[in-house]
Chains A and B, each alone.
Chain A
């Protein structure tokens, strides 16, 4: 340390020039091409928003007649669907929709999680590529094909499993099936067909691809530095996944699951092909008879007069609201999740 002390020079700031310290307004000069680009992208963005608002407004304005007729409370709490006698509501179909989606989610979520972890962390080389494109292909299969597969391939083979669950876990009300004698030697599987459970399984197959691709994308972005840090501590692959990949991909897991839920809530034709529609509030998911809002609309559409149509529109509006909430929540969670930017030192 020497005796020379550094001087800090503070320049004089005269009051007269105080204007110099005011923030400037920044303006860019745009050319015609800039304006054209802006107009095109803006239009594209705005059209999406307008179309969505129009769909909502259309459903609401058409459905309001039916809701006014019976009142909102009765519309929400009535299980029956008989617009001709003013006795209709979405209680049963809404519950059915949620139940089918819940079964689908419960089956699809672990499946998608496992698949995406396998793709990103275990499979290598050609297997990784093949699996990734298979998942994308699966997403492109039309839902009517899934419906046919579910009705003619899955259902005849899965009913015995349904029966097995109900025999052993029938004491839980959810798995109870009425009108079946477990001791009967006959293979009576009819009471187990066309159920919420089977519809949920088919929908699960349909939402696995979207969940998988979102989870895969988020796991892939887990920082290499953190992965190596875990391995360098002697971590097994699962240890590394638990410590680095899963915490990093949490947003992708939740967001992907909820986007899948959004699809499950709105799925129509596959459910329509499988269920035998009932209009009652029921919690026996293995039992014949189920329903969902979308399937009901498809079912009743052709036989509806103007007023019944309005009732269907009201049901559609409730579905629209529900899926919108789910999807917005999902995208908010995905957007909020860590992108890896804050892991740099």
Chain B
């Protein structure tokens, strides 16, 4: 993870960053032993992946909301997307695992490369892309008809992966532990997931995403509706996943971005103009010595 040359505070929209040479996937302890579950359906590689967005533009109907945005999200690192409301961060995030196209009027341009392979390539199955690039939403969305146990491994059933009781039990405990929810729910695994508190539901959703061993985890303002304790737990989870999985998080909370992320991308959109990345780089540099005055103003709370 430290081989990479730091492109700190590069002004991204000017030119697409040169393609960095592919790193070997970070082999994370704990994820390797789950690889067996992946075999029956696809032979997707496990471990953190590099996600690279190239010249992403997006439209809702005729309204262009993103204009040629490029960003590399390094394997095993936490990248925070920050910026004021309506600058296209969430749209950008949803493009990274093909959720954008679910909106009927939405369209997009550009490529999203998962370890070099464009997930929008016609040869790629959308379900495979989404299984490798998981997503946690702003509003916790557990399946209310299912128990906590079933919720956690819902992804297995959805992917048609067969697992026996022992494997399932292991996966449930492992995923819930990673989402730091295990201790709170281990005695009531078979109660409905909808009965948990908001913060617990969100961590259940994180566990659910982790159970299918994604290589990238996207988080769309995961803590914006959570109490401080749950927010801290989610941040701890992000810290513990560092190195094992590539994380991209959209947040409106500057302190959170500073606490959890290795790298930061600052999105901005002028009035009625499509959004783009103003500045991108190492989080410390972005908060300590931003190059662009708008970044400086935003991270110091002078607007947004």
Contacts and interface: CB of A to CB of B under 8 A. Distances in A.
Interface string A228-243: 1111111110011001
B139 A231 contact: no
B198 interface: yes
Interface string B127-164: 11111101101011111111000000011011110000
A244 B193 CA distance: 14
Interface string A163-204: 000000000000000000000000000000000000000000
Contacts, number: 88
A343 B194 contact: yes
B143 A233 contact: no
Given A234-B159, A342-B194, A345-B202, A229 B141 contact: yes
Contacts of A343: 141, 144, 194
Interface stretch (B5-13, B47-55, B204-212, B268-276): B204-212
A32 interface: no
A234 B127 contact: yes
Contact of A223 (B132, B141, B146): B141
B22 interface: no
A110 interface: no
B171 to A, nearest CB: 14
Contacts of A125: 104
B46 interface: no
B126 to A, nearest CB: 9
Contacts of A230: 143, 154, 158
A282 interface: no
A233 B134 contact: yes
Contact of B201 (A124, A338, A345): A345
A272 B151 CA distance: 52
A71 interface: no
A248 B208 CA distance: 19
Nearest to B133: A232
B14 interface: no
A233 B141 contact: no
A243 B140 CA distance: 16
Contacts of A142: none
Interface in B189-225: 194, 198, 201-202, 205, 208-209, 212, 225
A345 B198 contact: yes
Interface in A195-254: 223, 225-226, 228-236, 239-240, 243-244, 247-248
B289 interface: no
Nearest to A250: B145
Contacts of B159: 233-235, 239
Interface string B11-22: 000000000000
B220 to A, nearest CB: 10
B1 interface: no
A247 B143 contact: yes
B205 A229 contact: yes
A234 B212 contact: yes
Contact of B99 (A231, A239, A344): A231
A236 B158 CA distance: 7
A244 B127 CA distance: 16
Contact of B130 (A226, A231, A342): A231
Contacts of A248: 145
Given A342-B194, A343-B194, A345-B139, A235 B144 contact: no
Given A230-B158, A231-B130, A234-B128, A247 B145 contact: yes
B97 interface: yes
A240 B201 CA distance: 19
A123 to B, nearest CB: 12
Interface residues of B, number: 36
Contacts of B143: 226, 229-230, 243-244, 247
Contact of A228 (B128, B141, B142): B141
A123 B99 CA distance: 19
Nearest to A223: B141
B29 interface: no
Contacts of A232: 97, 99, 130, 134-135, 137, 209
A235 B127 CA distance: 6
B3 interface: no
A234 B158 contact: yes
Nearest to B97: A232
A342 B160 CA distance: 28
Interface string B98-112: 010010100000000
> Residue among B97, B141, B160 with the most chain A CB within 10 A?
B141
Interface string A325-345: 000000000000010001111
Contacts of B212: 233-234
A248 B144 CA distance: 9
A222 B202 CA distance: 19
Given A243-B143, A244-B143, A247-B145, A234 B201 contact: no
A231 B130 CA distance: 7
A243 B158 CA distance: 8
A199 to B, nearest CB: 38
B31 to A, nearest CB: 17
Given A225-B137, A239-B159, 8 more contacts: A228-B141, A229-B141, A232-B97, A233-B130, A233-B158, A234-B128, A243-B157, A345-B141
6 contacts: A226-B141, A230-B158, A233-B154, A233-B209, A234-B130, A234-B155
Interface of B: 97, 99, 102, 104, 127-132, 134-135, 137, 139-146, 154-155, 157-160, 194, 198, 201-202, 205, 208-209, 212, 225
- In the complex, the 4 A-B pairs of residues with the closest C-beta atoms, listed nearest first: A234-B131, A247-B145, A225-B141, A232-B135
Interface of A: 124-125, 223, 225-226, 228-236, 239-240, 243-244, 247-248, 338, 342-345
